[in-house]
Chains A and B, each alone.
Chain A
Amino acid sequence: EVQLVQSGAEVKKPGESLKISCKASGYSFSGYWIGWVRQMPGKGLEWMGIVYPGDSDTRYSPSFQGQVSISADESIRTAYLQWSSLKASDSGTYYCARHRGGYDDNFDYWGQGTLVTVSS
Chain B
Amino acid sequence: QSVLTQPPSVSGAPGQSVTISCTGSSFGAGYGVHWYQHLSGTAPKLLIYRNYNRPSGVPDRFSGSKSGTSASLAISGLQTEDEGDYYCQSYDSSLSGWVFGGGTKLTVL
Chain A residues near B (Cβ < 8 Å): 35, 37, 44-47, 50, 59-62, 95, 97, 99, 103-104, 106-113
Closest chain A residue, CB of each to CB of B42: A112
Size range of the interface on B?
A: 20 to 34
5 further interface pairs, Cβ-Cβ under 8 Å (given A47-B98, A59-B97, A60-B97): A45-B36, A95-B43, A106-B49, A107-B46, A109-B46
- Tell me if A's interface is mostly helix, strand, loop or mixed: strand
Contact of B84 with A by CB under 8 A: no
Could you tell me the distance between the alpha carbons of A37 and B87 in the complex, rounded to whole angstroms?
Answer: 13
Q: Hey, which bits of chain B sit against chain A, CB under 8 A?
A: 2, 31-32, 34, 36, 38, 43-46, 49-50, 55, 85, 87, 89, 91, 93, 95-103
A-B contact pairs, 22 of them (CB 8 A): A37-B44, A44-B100, A45-B89, A47-B89, A47-B99, A47-B100, A59-B97, A61-B95, A61-B97, A62-B97, A95-B43, A97-B44, A103-B91, A103-B93, A104-B31, A106-B89, A107-B36, A107-B89, A108-B55, A109-B46, A110-B44, A110-B45
Q: Contacts A44-B101, A44-B103; is A59 near B96 (CB within 8 Å)? A: yes
Tell me the minimal C-beta distance from B86 to chain A in angstroms: 10
Please report the C-alpha to C-alpha distance between residue A107 and residue B48 in the assembled complex, in whole angstroms. Answer: 11
B50 CB to nearest A CB, Å: 6
Query: What is the CA–CA distance of A100 and B15 in the complex, to the nearest angstrom?
Result: 36
Q: Are B34 and A106 neighbours in the complex by a CB distance under 8 Å?
A: yes
Residues of A within 8 A of B2 (CB): 44
- Complex CA–CA separation, A107 to B44 (angstroms): 9
Give the residue among A62, A103, A106, A110 with the most B Cβ atoms within 10 A: A106
| Assembled-state Cα–Cα distance A59/B98 (Å) | 10
